[in-house]
Chain A
């Protein structure tokens, strides 16, 4: 039994599904921007926070660090950035390591710092609060604007290349597919941020870049098949039939490629470290939606735009 998709027949349905997926995302992005001044919940990488440093008289191993991280999040300290600092040739004191914990801004009168100290001392009895101060963001505004400029230029580059190799319609459809995917991933994180406080850190930018790369890659493979089939079958089939034919021919490949990439990502999500979980989640969402959009969104757009054009070409050829 072979799965045969008829996306041309159900193209309105396809667009409705995309709309259904994206409307809550856009809603969440707008709602979050209005209420919290940021479309997604951003981490201390962007906002800065408080740094607490504890001196400990022993060497700290990886397992202890893991236990400390779990204990802190159980006590309501979300996404702490914990680093172990080995003290260099400090002969005067017995302090061997420092534990540096970066977390959200701790306001005056809040008991958060006391909670953290308690947790640290429950794990390391001789831990001593060495310093507590506020820290600025590691990611400045200039990184953000700079990345946006770079990505915009990259998109223009993609449009130029695809216009030369395919047509402008295809380039535009590929870019809209990419925007579709990015809005979805950002939107889901916006919703997760509003509901369960999931934060977006520096790695999120990288995850989005990966999603962009995958999205375009996936779309091009389907378009390549459309281009090839148009060359062979333009006289025998309608444009819609060619689109359907091409999508079905590349379907096994589209699914298999996503499955292989998702296998790696799921392994990283379920067995990997906590600090990269959200990063991996963003990539999983992006690859899933990227596969969806290359089959059900980009091709549908091209079908709607080019259907009439090819109908007239076909008619003139027959006449």
Chain B
């Protein structure tokens, strides 16, 4: 009994903390629900690029997509428009300036050597080794403890780099990014393993500079430079008219679910409804704390997880009713209901969580948003539908006898009549049958 009271206050504390989180942090909504910023980009011809071909636009779209996605997990749109333009839409929550910087950067990485003779001003020329020869880039730290960008070359890059460093032993080699010299280390010995490190010269990189460079390098250089020609804010892609209606509909739907539980399961139904409210409060508090961006896909995950939370309670209550029909005492019926429903709740929820984990790590944005909200929802539902409901049920009914079967949606004459087969003695003992 004492443990149950401690548990009760723990639940109250969790709910209070969640409520304070709900009021203190904003919810992040995606492009489809609240809209965001719309940028129009135009591919620019240069001295070397005389015409913009559809193939160039394809790879430009791809590169921009990768860059915008590098900012965060929120769903973004990149769409080709006309012959040489791109429409980029990013949700409000993303940092617009950061996005603009990422989009505008051509991200050209070049390794250069100095061909000036001693005493002359530096004259850096290309060595033919560029960002195209990279497999990946990552943020690291240099020997002096500064932030650095660590590069891994692909097969051709490794060979080029080995040849270059062999030829340039004792001389400087500079790394240029977007035409700016980043650092120019002196090569002490040939580097054969295909790895290089860029440190930011004088003051070094800041953490965010290093991260940005890594994201850009991983996304690849733009095939053509692109400039932003228009910038606006947009309404939700699903239309604000539709969303307003759906909000009302969602509330009606949840209300109907609660009424159903109340009518069908009576008293336990009330407890399930309270547990469902607690579920909603904790879930949204978690969404806000983790920084989940809610899109319609996420809401679908939420609806499914509500279904699963309610399902757990239905399973438990159906089981409790069966045990009551079999003539067990109220206390044993309640605990047996929870114990026996647990394996099915556990197995079905574990499958869902495994599925979500795979979808989250392997899938793209829409799939990711769905998987994340569903997984969090299912985990929270295990807590509210089992722990919270059980605690409340036992606190209220405890060791009392069931005087009014109506409270559980049963008739008096039903009690003690059910169960087709008798169980073995061992099972009787396990579930504490008192007859």
Contact = CB atoms under 8 A, between A and B. Distances in A.
Q: Does B bind A?
A: yes
Interface of A: 48, 51, 62-63, 65-66, 69, 81-88, 98, 100, 133-138, 140, 142-143, 146-147, 149-151, 153-154, 157-158, 161-162, 165, 202-203, 205-207, 209-210, 212-214, 216-218, 220-221, 224-225, 227-228, 232-233, 236-237, 245, 249-250, 252-253, 256-257, 259-261, 263-268, 270-276, 279, 283
- 3 closest Cβ pairs, A-B complex: A273-B242, A136-B80, A264-B253
Nearest to A98: B232
Nearest to B349: A217
Contacts of B61: 136, 140
Given A136-B80, A216-B351, A267-B256, A279 B306 contact: no
A217 B252 contact: no
Nearest to A146: B364
Given A220-B347, A264-B256, A100 B234 contact: yes
Given A86-B233, A221-B344, A161 B351 contact: yes
Interface of B: 35, 38, 61-62, 65, 77-82, 85, 87, 231-246, 248-250, 252-254, 256-257, 260-261, 264, 296-297, 300-301, 303-304, 306-308, 310-311, 314-315, 318, 322, 340, 343-344, 347-352, 354-355, 357-359, 362-364, 366-367, 370-371, 374, 420-421, 423-424, 427
A165 B235 contact: no
B256 A221 contact: no
Given A205-B366, A260-B257, A220 B300 contact: no
Given A136-B79, A147-B367, A264-B306, A272 B245 contact: yes
Contact of A275 (B81, B242, B264, B364): B242
Tell me what chain B mostly uses at the interface: helix, strand, loop, or mixed: helix
B234 A217 contact: no
Contacts of A268: 246, 249-250, 253
A279 B249 CA distance: 14
B239 A69 contact: yes
Contacts of B311: 217, 221, 253, 257, 260
Given A85-B232, A261-B307, A273 B245 contact: yes
Contacts of B238: 273, 275-276
A98 to B, nearest CB: 7
Contacts of B245: 271-273
Contacts of B355: 154, 157-158, 212-213, 216
Contact of B363 (A98, A150, A245, A276): A150
Contact of A149 (B35, B246, B362): B362
